[in-house]
Amino acid sequence: MSSPSSFPEDGAAARGLPVVRLKPKAEARAIRHGFPWVYADELVMDRRTGNIPPGALAVLEDGERRALGLVTVNVKSKIVARMIDRDPAAVVDEAWFAARLTRAMALRARLFDAPFYRLVHAEADGLPGVVIDRFGDVAVVQPNAAWAEMLLDPLVAALRSVTGVTTVVKNGTGRARGLEGLAEETVVLCGGVDAPVPVPMNGAVYMADVTGGQKTGLFYDQRPNHAFAARLAKGARVLDVFTHVGGFALAALAGGAESAVAVDASAPALALAEAGAKASGVAERFSTRQGDAFAVLEALGSEGARFDLVICDPPAFAPAKPALEAGLRAYERIARLASPLVAPGGYLVLCSCSHAADLAAFRNASARGIGRGGRRAQLLHTGFAGADHPMLPQLAESGYLKSLFFRLD
């Protein structure tokens, strides 16, 4: 059998696969060492490559015509090729998907007692651009890359076979699909969903709207940070800003908080948070406030409100490099408005899910904001996404979530 390094071009042709090639000066070493992407300026963009349909498979070669592996190609995307298998002879079919999903599920089964978790975290689980969140018998698939859209049928068939889920929802929304030239749509592919799905997590119950909510309906990535905040929340008055469906607030109440106020701009999200508080048995200690987060923080400040634990978990203010400076200013402003609301000796939690803002930049912006808010702080803990959101070490973008826990004087 031919090794990946000696796989001939005519072998690809025999399977009907095109061959794409790195430019002579492009760095093949990074690909060999595990980096999963090839950018448009690194690939020979001749007429043959330009005619490859978005999402098609191809064999990637280096400048000396040595095969590097099997990639998916989308010449409409800045990421023109994504490594999908180091074996250029791999056949991507239902069995191939089943092997990847079985490996992913084995990790989650070791981590969690119940099937509520992120099952597939894109490149880190060997499925570039694919996110799958599991909610018991329901799975939500985000095919954020063109190849996954093309091969959605065998992916879903393997998903049902491996996991036993009865309902699969395709969530085809979000910025990533636009960058791939894909249309937005959300559709139930099999089974049915007629109500929010209850999700047990950190001693609370969350309500996930898997067909109409944000992303897949719930953010599993903050699970360990919810748990850490709950340790600080016993007997505390809690303010949870950008709460979505209850986020930190419900975990804090499950951890013994005296009360929690949840703030969000979305009335439907707050309704789900209230339903979660009722299901968790903490409704009498839970209240909501709808409105723009910045405006609510300013209003609470003018009212002289004080809380023992304040959490701000906003959407990505800096989803890409062009938005970085404006995003960092927004994070600084959040810290400046939130820090005066923290009672002396209380805690402030600031979060960022921005890919473009690395930990140091976010931490510096947060510290500036706290200082401008007239407070001094100790940084107690830095949290990241849970282990069901593994990182690909070669891809910094896969480690997007940062949560900073401060104690304020």
Spatial separation of the C-alpha atoms in residues 321 and 23, rounded to whole Å = 25
Structure tokens at 56: 């098609």
Mean pLDDT computed over every residue of the chain: 94
Q: φ, ψ for residue 316 (rounded to 5)?
A: -70, 110
Class of the domain covering 6-85? mainly beta
Instruction: Using pLDDT thresholds of 50, 70 and 90, give the confidence band for residue 27.
Output: confident
Spatial separation of the C-alpha atoms in residues 57 and 91, rounded to whole Å = 10
Q: What percent of the chain has pLDDT over 70?
A: 97
Quick one: 169 exposed, middle or buried, by C-beta within 10 A (0-12, 13-18, 19+)? buried
Say if residue 19's pLDDT is above 80: yes
CA-wise closest residue to 338 among 403, 285, 406, 401: 406
Spatial separation of the C-alpha atoms in residues 336 and 332, rounded to whole Å = 6
Tell which CATH architecture fits domain 207-408: 3-Layer(aba) Sandwich (3.40)
Which range (40-49, 174-183, 200-209) has the least confidence? 174-183
Measured CA distances, 294 to 45, 154, 268, 334, 355 (Å): 46, 45, 19, 7, 22
Mean pLDDT throughout 291-313?
A: 98
In sequence order, what are the residues at sequence separation of 6 or more whose Cβ sits closer than 8 angstroms to the Cβ of residue 233?
251, 252, 253, 255, 256, 257, 308, 309
Instruction: Using pLDDT thresholds of 50, 70 and 90, give the confidence band for residue 25.
Output: confident
Say if residue 185's pLDDT is above 60: yes
Say if residue 397's pLDDT is above 70: yes
> pTM for the complete prediction?
0.93
In this chain, the answer to whether the domains covering 94-190 and 207-408 adopt an identical fold is no
Say if residue 174's pLDDT is above 90: no
Return the pLDDT at 11.
Answer: 58
Return the pLDDT at 176.
Answer: 85
Cα-Cα end-to-end distance for the chain: 67
Say if residue 2's pLDDT is above 80: no
Q: What percent of the chain has pLDDT over 90?
A: 86
Mean pLDDT throughout 24-43?
A: 89
Other beta carbons within 10 angstroms of residue 376's beta carbon come to: 11
Say if residue 337's pLDDT is above 60: yes
Say if residue 408's pLDDT is above 90: yes
Q: Which of 190, 312, 351, 353 is catalytic?
A: 353
| Sequence spans of domains, the chain | 6-85, 94-190, 207-408
Q: What is the pLDDT of residues 89-121, one digit of tens each?
A: 999 999 999 999 999 999 999 999 999 999 999
Return the pLDDT at 13.
Answer: 57
Say if residue 6's pLDDT is above 90: no
For 339-397, where are the alpha helices, taking DSSP H only?
359-372
Domain 94-190 has CATH 3.90.230.10: no
Paired with 404 in beta bridges are 350, 382
Q: Are strands 19-21 and 167-172 parallel, antiparallel or unpaired?
A: unpaired
Concatenate the DSSP letters of all residues of 132-200 into one string: EEEETTEEEEEE-SHHHHHTHHHHHHHHHHHH--SEEEEEE-SHHHHHTTPPPEEEEEES---SPEEEE
Spatial separation of the C-alpha atoms in residues 294 and 337, rounded to whole Å = 8
Question: Is 353 among the residues known to form the active site?
Answer: yes
Spatial separation of the C-alpha atoms in residues 211 and 239, rounded to whole Å = 28
Q: What is the pLDDT of residues 157-170, one digit of tens each?
A: 999 999 999 999 99
In sequence order, what are the residues at sequence separation of 6 or more whose Cβ sits closer than 8 angstroms to the Cβ of residue 181?
54, 74, 76, 77, 146
Hey, is 39 helix, strand or coil? strand
